[in-house]
Amino acid sequence: MPRGKRRPQKTALDVLSSKVRDLDVSDDESYNDNASIISNASCSTSIDERSCVPTDDNDEQSLSDAFEEKLSEAIDGLSQKSAQGRTSSFESICNVFCKKYIPDFILNRRMTITDSIERALRKGGDNEKAVAANLSCLLCIQLGSIDVSENVCQELLPTLMFVANDESVPLLAREKCCLAIALLTFIAYNEEIDSAMQLFRNLWARLIHSSTVSAPAATLYSTALSSWCLLLSTISIRNSTILPTLSELSLLLDSAYLEVRMATGELLTVLLEMVRECEDMDEYEPDEELISKLRELATDSQKYRAKKDRKTQRSNFRQILHYVEFDEPPNIQVRFGQEILSMNTWTKKKEYDVLCQALGSGMNMHMTENDLVRDILNLGPKLCQTKLLSNKQSKMERQQINAANFKVRTKTRGKVRDKRIATID
């Protein structure tokens, strides 16, 4: 021990006086007054009798409260002065709206969110405009099953259409606005559908009349073409005066950009599907030249195109070619949870693709919970949650099944690898 820090040695008198003090302490004074009531109670009870142990219900409630608190903070952050902070708040709310279906929570806050979206679209920066347009889609999808959704769509549509038609706005923000206009018009189905389709028609028509188009501009025009195709499925083509001709579609198929060719192929199938339900519109039946072009796209092997792009193009245009030539509808099935979505029309596939583009990874959750999405895709009423839980295997059952399968595979593989097996030459 270092010098200067030696403990003072106790004398016999000190030891005797300490023992006398211990004997003089009464029972009342021996109780620990500094200990709290809760600490003493927890120490005097058994583990089974302790009520302070959190249960599953308490955990779920605390998680729900924490989630709502964070979402409320993000909504309040939409009005802060920092542009980067507002953009981050928009992105956070978009992520939540994709992953959770919470229309009741949003209902009382819809005016705050709507005003923030309009302000961002008018005065925000480039990224802020893009995420605000994206949030407008998700907001109306969340509120789609409630009557106020149509009012929200009508309030946001004029601003979205102004931004989408403004040449000074960056192309990414205009692209997001086009998708938002298509979905909001599709959900509300109001008198704005004609002006929205005319706006999209003016945008994608530049692909035909312009000799050179940049890649970002081609992405914008292909989104406008895809949005126009979605709205086309909601109107009567007999009374439409803005239908494209087959020669225009043939020119679009010659585009150097994959997204333009894909959007044109989808438009061709939706248009033919609607035309073939009529009896006196034979002028839209493809001729041999157009069919030959579709066949080339379905078997394209040009090396100057990316391998992934060639694979995607061939896969999609093979289905398109089968429908154009042999009138074979698509047969696509998507499994989510305990349900299966079957798509046997190009119109239904188009609606599904646009919803996927807006919801991203949260599409399966919304198909399970969201009444609007289920109504659009004709999925019927939601399944009972108890039925879903009863059909779900427990973790122990899955482990036992996997262990049994592993044992069978091991035995089979061991027999094949055994060197004592006779080989036939």
How many domains, the chain?
3
Q: Are residues 208 and 231 in the same domain?
A: yes
Confidence of residue 423 (pLDDT cuts 50, 70, 90): low
Tell me the C-alpha distance between 139 and 120, whole Å. Answer: 15
Tell me the C-alpha distance between 154 and 191, whole Å. Answer: 10
Q: Distance between alpha carbon 417 and the CA centroid of its chain, in Å?
A: 47
The verdict on residue 312 lying in a domain is yes
- pLDDT above 90: residue 349: yes
- pLDDT above 80: residue 381: yes
Q: Are residues 245 and 365 in the same domain?
A: no
Residue 244: both structure tokens together: 């494209």
What sign does the dihedral 197-203-208-209 (CA atoms) show?
Answer: positive
- pLDDT above 80: residue 20: no
Q: Distance between alpha carbon 130 and the CA centroid of its chain, in Å?
A: 16
Domain hosting residue 277, numbered range: 191-326
For residues 295-311, average pLDDT: 84
The pLDDT tens digits of the residues spanning 239-252 come to 666 788 888 899 99
Q: Which residue has the tokens 């109780």?
A: 31
Q: What percent of the chain has pLDDT over 90?
A: 47
Contact status, residue 258 vs residue 252, Cβ threshold 8 Å: no
Q: Are residues 154 and 81 in the same domain?
A: yes
For residues 102-120, average pLDDT: 92
The verdict on residue 112 lying in a domain is yes
Confidence of residue 16 (pLDDT cuts 50, 70, 90): very low
Q: Are residues 131 and 250 in the same domain?
A: no
Residue 47: both structure tokens together: 């583990």
> Mean pLDDT, the chain, as a whole number?
81
Helix, strand or coil, per DSSP, at residue 334: strand
The stretches of 360-394 forming alpha helices (DSSP H) are 363-369, 371-376, 385-391
For residues 86-105, average pLDDT: 93
The pLDDT tens digits of the residues spanning 32-82 come to 444 444 444 444 444 444 444 444 556 666 777 788 888 899 999 999 999
Contact status, residue 250 vs residue 327, Cβ threshold 8 Å: no
Q: Are residues 312 and 207 in the same domain?
A: yes
Give me the pLDDT at residue 265, please: 94
Q: Are residues 195 and 183 in the same domain?
A: no
Tell me the C-alpha distance between 370 and 336, whole Å. Answer: 13
Confidence of residue 116 (pLDDT cuts 50, 70, 90): very high
> What's phi and psi for 333, nearest 5 deg?
-125, 135
Give me the pLDDT at residue 150, please: 85
- pLDDT above 90: residue 386: no
Q: Are residues 313 and 289 in the same domain?
A: yes
Give me the pLDDT at residue 420, please: 56
The pLDDT tens digits of the residues spanning 157-187 come to 999 999 999 999 999 999 999 999 999 999 8
Pairwise pLDDT comparison (31 vs 162), residue with the higher score: 162
For residues 328-345, average pLDDT: 90
Confidence of residue 308 (pLDDT cuts 50, 70, 90): confident
Tell me the C-alpha distance between 270 and 347, whole Å. Answer: 6
Helix (H) or strand (E) holding 120: helix 110-123
Tell me the C-alpha distance between 41 and 404, whole Å. Answer: 50
Give me the pLDDT at residue 7, please: 53
The verdict on residue 26 lying in a domain is no
Give me the pLDDT at residue 49, please: 42
Give me the pLDDT at residue 412, please: 81
Q: Are residues 300 and 335 in the same domain?
A: no
Non-local CB neighbours of 289 within 8 Å, separated by 6+ positions: 250
Task: Region of 189 please: left (phi>0), alpha (psi -120 to 50) or beta.
Answer: left
Q: Distance between alpha carbon 180 and the CA centroid of its chain, in Å?
A: 14
Give me the pLDDT at residue 392, please: 58
Single residue among 326, 344, 368 that ends a domain in this structure: 326
The verdict on residue 38 lying in a domain is no
For residues 125-137, average pLDDT: 93
Q: Are residues 120 and 159 in the same domain?
A: yes
For residues 125-149, average pLDDT: 90
Q: Are residues 70 and 172 in the same domain?
A: yes
Q: Are residues 300 and 356 in the same domain?
A: no
